[in-house]
Amino acid sequence: MLQITAREIAALTDGALVGGATGDELVTGTAQIDSREVGPGDLFAAFLGESVDGHDFLAAAQTSGAAITLVTEDRGVPAVQVDDVQRALSVLAREQLGRARRENAELVVLAITGSAGKTGTKDLLGTILGAHGPTVAPAGSFNNELGLPLTVLRISAETRYLVLEMGARGIGHIAALTTIARPDISVVLNVGSAHIGEFGSIDAIAQAKGELVEALAPEGRAILHAEDRLVAAMAQRSPAPVTSWGFTDGDVRGADLTLDERARVRFDLVVPEGLTTLRGEPVAPGRFGVHPSLLGEHQAANVLAALTAALAAGVDPAGAAAALEGATLASAQRMQALEAGGVLVIDDAYNANPDSMRQALKTLAHLGRTHRTIAVIGEMLELGPDSVRLHDEIGRLAVRLNIGQLYSVGDGAAPIHHGACLEGSFGGESEYLDTVEEALAVLERTVQPGDAVLLKSSRDAGLRRIAGPLVEHLARRGGLDGTTQNGDDQ
C-alpha cells in the first residue's frame, strides 16, 4: 500500500497541485483507474481509455474516499496534474518498489513471460507463495505498461513476494517494463505463435521474451523451459544462474504425467540433489505428488514452471506441492470448468492462439471417453497473413480428434469449418454460425446432460459472453441452485 503525500507525488512526477490540493493529502491505499474500485485513502488515476475518460469520474472517486487524484486536466477536484498519467504511474511504481526493497530485504520480485500460460502460471505461483508469506499476485492479466505499475503499487513493507506478468507486442516492450520493476527471478514459459502478426516471426517473439532474462542482476535467477528450444537458448542471454525445468529434460523434472477421468492433471515433482535457492540455500531433494484441479495436459507445464520458480524463491518442495492440492486459477476463463444441469462447460474464451487452441481441443477429446464433446470455436486474432491456414488447421484437428460437434462462430472462424469439412466432417458434425448470439441459442437448444462443451476464442471474438448465460440456462433447466466451478467436487 502507498504511504505518500500529494506533494511527494507532484515532485516525483513533475506534476502540479491543482483543484485546491494542499499537498498534505496522504495516500494510504493503492492506485485505481476504476472509480468503482476506489476506497478510502486510494489514489485515483484519471486514465483516458478507448471509450471512457477517467476525468468524468473524479467526483465519484472523491466521494468514495480518494485521497488525491492524478489528472492531465484541472477539473476543479484536488489533484496532481501531470503530462501523462500512465508515465506518472510508472514513476510512482518504481519509487514504491524501491522503498519496499529498502524496508524489506526479504522481498522477492518474480516475473513471468511466454506466448501462452502467463496468467495461469502467475496465479499458480501466487497460490504457492501466498501459503508461505504475504504475496501480491492479482487475478487477471495486468501485464502491460498500465497493468504492471498498478500491480506494483499494491505492495507494502510487509510484502514478501511480488509476482508480475509481463507481456509484449513488440521488441523492447518487456525491457521497458523491467525498468519499472526489475525481477529477481525471471520465468520464461514458451515461445509460440501468439501475436505473430505483430512481431512478424517466431525469432522476433523469442528476442522480445528474452528481454526478461537480460534484465536480471548477476545474483538473480532465470527459470527456463528446457524443452522449448528458443527458451532454452535464452540461457546464453542471462547474466544470472539458470534453473531449467521440463518433463524429459531440465534440472527440475515432472514425472508420470497423467490425466484423470475429469481431465485433471497429475504428476510428480522431482527435485535433484544440489539445487539451490536464489539466496544460495539448498533445496531438499525428493519426489512429491502434485494434484491441482486444472484441466488439460498442457497445464502441467505451467504448474511445473510455477513450482520451479517457487523453489528458487525459497519455498520447500513439499510445501509447494501441498499448496497446489486441488488448486484452481484465480483468473477466470482460462480452462475454467463450470457444471450445471449435468453439463460440463469449459470456458477458455479469454484468449486464443493456435497452440492454446490445439491444447484445449486435446483436453476436450480426452473428456470424450465419458462425455459427448462439443467445441464452440471463434476467431484467433493477430495471426497475420497465415490466419486462414492456421484456422483451417484447427478445423482439421477437431475432426482428427473425433470431437462430436464443432461450431465455428463468426466470419474470422469460417476457415475452421471449411478445414473440418475438407478433413472429412460431412454429416453435420461441423456447422458454421454467424454470431455469438446464434451460438448461444443453438447451445441452449441442443446441449444435453452428459455433454462437455468447450468455448474457445480470442477475447475480442466474443465467445467470452456465452458461458454465463449458458450456465444459468442449464441450471434453470436442471432445477439446480448453483454450479460447480473449476472441476471441483462439491
Nearest to 420 by CA among 448, 403, 396, 444: 396
Q: In the prediction, which pLDDT does 484 show?
A: 44
Pairwise pLDDT comparison (143 vs 194), residue with the higher score: 143
Rg (CA), the chain: 24
Confidence category of residue 195, pLDDT binned at 50, 70, 90:
low
Q: In the prediction, which pLDDT does 482 show?
A: 44
* Burial tier of 261 (Cβ tally within 10 Å: 0-12, 13-18, 19+): exposed
C-alpha distances out from residue 167 to 172, 205, 253, Å: 11, 11, 26
C-alpha 268/C-alpha 360 separation (Å) is: 22
C-alpha 422/C-alpha 420 separation (Å) is: 5
Per-residue pLDDT at 486 exceeds 70: no
Q: How many CB atoms lie within 10 A of CB 381?
A: 18
Q: pTM value?
A: 0.88
Q: How many CB atoms lie within 10 A of CB 101?
A: 16
Confidence category of residue 192, pLDDT binned at 50, 70, 90:
confident
Per-residue pLDDT at 266 exceeds 70: yes
Give the model confidence (pLDDT) of 244-265 as tens digits: 999 999 999 999 999 999 999 9
Per-residue pLDDT at 481 exceeds 70: no
Confidence category of residue 487, pLDDT binned at 50, 70, 90:
very low
Give the model confidence (pLDDT) of 379-421 as tens digits: 999 888 889 999 999 999 999 999 999 999 999 999 999 999 9
Give the model confidence (pLDDT) of 413-456 as tens digits: 999 999 999 998 667 899 999 999 999 999 999 999 999 999 99
How large a percentage of the chain has pLDDT more than 70?
96
C-alpha 163/C-alpha 139 separation (Å) is: 11
Q: In the prediction, which pLDDT does 58 show?
A: 96
Of the listed ranges 307-311, 318-322, 473-477, the one predicted with least confidence: 473-477
Q: In the prediction, which pLDDT does 197 show?
A: 65
Confidence category of residue 483, pLDDT binned at 50, 70, 90:
very low
Per-residue pLDDT at 478 exceeds 80: no
Quick one: cell of 201?
Answer: 516471426
Contacts of 489 (CB under 8 A, 6+ apart): none
Contacts of 102 (CB under 8 A, 6+ apart): none
Domains and CATH numbers, the chain: 4-82 (3.40.1390.10), 88-323 (3.40.1190.10), 336-485 (3.90.190.20)
* pLDDT, averaged across the chain: 93
Give the model confidence (pLDDT) of 143-157 as tens digits: 889 999 999 999 998
Question: Are the C-beta atoms of 188 and 174 separated by less than 8 Å?
Answer: no
